[in-house]
A = this chain, B = another copy of it.
Amino acid sequence: MYKKHYSEIELEKVTIPGAENASIRWLIAEKNNAPNFALRMFELEKDGCTPYHSHTWEHEIYTLEGEGAIVTEDGEIHLKPGDSALIAPNEEHNFVNKTDKVFKFLCVIPIPKK
C-alpha cells in the first residue's frame, strides 16, 4: 500500500520543447512499484501548454480544476472539471489552458514493459 496527498509530491517543471508554464507530479509511478500504469497530475498555469505530438501509448484523462482543451488534428476538445477523455495511441494532441486560472488534470499512461 502506498498513499500520498498530491501536495506531498514534487511539482516538476515540464522542460521538453514546446511545453510552456506546465508542471507535473508523478502521483503513482514505477518507482512506487506500480505494475502497469502511472498516475500523473498536470498543472498548466496561465498560457500553459504541453507539446503538440503523438506517441504509441494512450492517455486517460480526468479534469480536476480550471478549463482547458485537447488540441487535435480535428480541432479542439474543451475540458472542464469532471470531464474524462481517452487519447488513443498515435493521435496527435496537446493540452492547452484556456483561462487565467490553473488547469489541473490527471493523466494515466502505461508503464513500458521491459
The chain A residues found within 8 Å of chain B, CB to CB, are 1-7, 27-28, 32-37, 39, 58, 60, 62, 64, 70, 72, 74, 77, 79-80, 82-89, 91, 93, 106, 108, 110
Contact = CB atoms under 8 A, between A and B. Distances in A.
B1 A84 contact: no
B5 A80 contact: yes
Given A60-B39, A60-B108, A62-B39, A1 B86 contact: yes
Given A60-B39, A84-B39, A1 B106 contact: no
A1 B110 contact: no
A68 B6 CA distance: 17
Contact of A3 (B27, B85, B89, B110): B85
A59 to B, nearest CB: 10
B5 A91 contact: no
A5 B82 CA distance: 5
A61 B104 CA distance: 17
A106 B35 contact: no
